[in-house]
Amino acid sequence: MISKPYVLASRETQTEDTIVSVGNVKIGGSQLVVIAGPCAVESKDQIMETAAQVRESGAVILRGGVYKSRTSPYAFQGLGMKGLEFLKAAGEANGMPVVTEAVSPELAVQMMDLTDMFQIGARNMQNIELLKKVGVLGKPVILKRGPSATIEEWLLSAEYMLAAGTKDIILCERGIRTFETNTRYTLDISAVPVVKELSHLPVIVDPSHAVGFRDKVSAAGLAAVAAGADGLSVEVHPQPDKALSDGAQSLYPEQFNKLMRDIEAIAPVVGKIF
């Protein structure tokens, strides 16, 4: 008898870790992966430059937003499908699968042929119709935890997609809302071992959105690796001070390279291949 409400996501249903394949990249188990790229695709030149830089440092999946759910209606909302074409081209040029956020069921269908993996953003973690549609489409999915969501609510959102048909879901901790104001959110490091005990799904961490300031991103990312995360999603921009979205939390390429070398050093300590 399964005691958890998230039947398909529960480790009571499946004891072995799920390994998610995205192109030639495997996420989960003993493998440690890093996803990197800008918060938003701003131009073809920008995403091409960023892709080459993060690939050289060792990132294996390219990220970039093309439809941006912003707090302010006046903020940059993304380049849409043209931006996705730029992202896909940059990924192909550097031998990297790409991931971008789907913000509606209709757009998810349109994006199918140009992305290798969907991301469900924190604001949409409980957008039930979007979860069901992405589940039916069957591509790998990164599911971000909502800023006020409990772990059970997060896993139940994954359950919607599992019940709809997809098997390849990666859970992403990206900080929760607390009373603390010195960081953008509070990175719930304890969620990593807790979720890995409760569920067979891979767990990655987004330190960029969690802390909100680039000088704290690397420390938070290394803590996540030490806690047993299966990977990181890190925002990198060649000129963060000129970024159209979340520049304050985006690493310079040289900072990202230093983070990757530090991960390389500590990964064997926690039994990860990097």
88: enclosing H helix or E strand: helix 81-93
Query: In the chain, what are the domains?
Result: 20-270 (3.20.20.70)
pLDDT exceeding 70 applies to what percent of the chain?
A: 100
Please state the rounded mean pLDDT for residues 214-220: 97
Q: List % helix, strand, coil for the chain (3-state, nearest 5).
A: 40, 20, 40
pTM of the model: 0.96
- pLDDT (tens digit per residue) in 81-90: 999 999 999 9
Rg (CA), the chain: 17
**What integer best gives the mean pLDDT of the chain?**
96
